[in-house]
A and B are shown apart, each in its own frame.
Chain A
Amino acid sequence: MNAASVRLTRWAVIIAAIAALEIVPRAGLGDAITLIPLSRIVPEFFELLSDGELIPHLLSTGGAFVLSFLLAGVTGVPLGYLLWRYEPLKRTLDPYLTTYYAIPIFAFYPLLLAIFGFNILPVVVISWAWAVVAVVLNTAIGFGEVPRVLIKVGQSMNLSRWQLLSRIFFPAAVPYVFTGLKLGMVYSLIGVIASEFVLSTQGLGYLVSYNYTNFRTAAMYSAMFLILFLAILLNWALNSIERRLYEHG
């Protein structure tokens, strides 16, 4: 397939999906309470947006996401460095780290509620915990993968330990660290939305579950669209940063 027909097919998929959202409910296929046509969702979405009902939830989700992601970056990169630097630490933690993502951390939400109470804190903690390990692992791998020869260049130039770390190890590890941050960002968002279903009285995740249980279907879809929009925006931002980072690849 050539580039033009690939692009055409992509648009066709989107248009087909939108059409399905309209046609399937109208044809009476599926549950009439949770499946409503797009033409009923869109006006409701704009109404909710304009009367400001969505804004506090958007801010709450955005704030929790930014906070948990920043925390994951600020703690994850140094922890990754330590893990690489101290072999015994790595050997001790390795089995925990490699099985980490096999554990559905969300199952422990009652514990977090008991510790932090019913506010934004458990949401941030669970999202941080979900994101930080990806940052730690990728940072540690990045430092470990620095080519020996680059280190030898630095040593032969009589660089200090600090110069060796900041001018050779760190820039050489950046692509891996960035991969970790990228994963961490996505995990943060997933963590925030998923934990808002049960851990919060605010945020887009909460809004989806609240509107669902109260049969406000159009409002539920509005929250979903906002989440989708947020994820797409994030993905676009990450890709453009990455392109800039690797354009000299």
Chain B
Amino acid sequence: MRLEVKEVRKTFSGKGQEVEALAGVGLAVAEGEFVSIVGPSGCGKSTLLEIVGGLIEPTGGEVLIGEEPINGPHPAVGLVFQQESAFPWRTVLGNVEFGMEMHGVAKGERRERSRALIELVGLKGFEDRYPGELSGGMRQRVAIARTLVMNPEVLLMDEPFGALDEQTRLILGDELLHIWSETKSTALFITHSIEEATLLSDRVIVMSARPGTIKKVVTVDLERPRDSTVVGTPEFGNITGEVWQVLREESMKTLKGQV
């Protein structure tokens, strides 16, 4: 399923102040394509993702999932968040089953699909553990499995590995590539890590400082299937260099604005 963002604008207002977060963003992700968005902090990339996910209404413009404009969360869209989101009161299995349970999927099927996904994200053997007993990286895998088990045709991820250290992040990036190659979903991924974006994506979109617009689109023509060993190649360096050139300029603007 393809996804298109058309001239999306968002202005937040409160306490007599108006903050323009997004100033006309347009992008399209083809079916089965993996696109990452990088941008300086506060550029509105998370806001954009929540608009695409139907959690926030845009001030202007529209979002198409397939050919239809959305009006709230679309059932074919799955979201993974940066913050801890595994339910602490449910076991790993209970977490992964949650969405199916809410939508009345029969218990047998629920079990079967959940166990398959738990294995896919490498948590086999931890089905009956609670999130409090797991590491941060494992908890994030629980959240990813909980979203993937619903077979989303479009997968939106907001810095899912943002709270983790660099090594764990690259390893989980490898795993995500593997999982994604099996699910073939359309993916929109938000990160502030240029390496992570390049490793995972077909295209990297660089956003400007606030108010967010699209500054540049970089095509990643590295062969697939890939894994994190590409990080050391000159081609990889060229791409990250190209992204950084634009991002550096925008990040400087953000920093200056803060001083």
A: which residues have CB within 8 A of B? 147-150, 152-153, 155-159, 163, 167-168, 171-172, 174, 248-249
Contacts and interface: CB of A to CB of B under 8 A. Distances in A.
Contacts of B143: 153
Contact of B130 (A149, A153, A172, A248): A248
A155 to B, nearest CB: 6
Per DSSP, chain B at the interface is loop
Contacts of A171: 87, 89
Contacts of A153: 79, 81, 85, 143, 146
A156 B50 CA distance: 9
Contacts of A249: 88, 132
B181 interface: no
B102 interface: yes
Nearest to B99: A157
Contacts of A168: 87
Given A174-B89, A248-B133, A157 B150 contact: yes
B81 A149 contact: yes
A156 B132 contact: no
A157 B84 CA distance: 17
B87 A158 contact: no
Given A153-B143, A167-B102, A171-B87, 20 more contacts: A147-B83, A147-B84, A149-B81, A149-B84, A150-B85, A150-B87, A152-B50, A153-B79, A156-B53, A156-B54, A156-B73, A156-B77, A156-B78, A157-B73, A157-B98, A163-B102, A168-B87, A172-B89, A174-B89, A248-B88
A157 B55 CA distance: 10
Interface residues of B, number: 27
Given A152-B55, A152-B79, A159 B85 contact: no
6 contacts: A147-B83, A156-B79, A157-B98, A158-B73, A167-B98, A171-B87
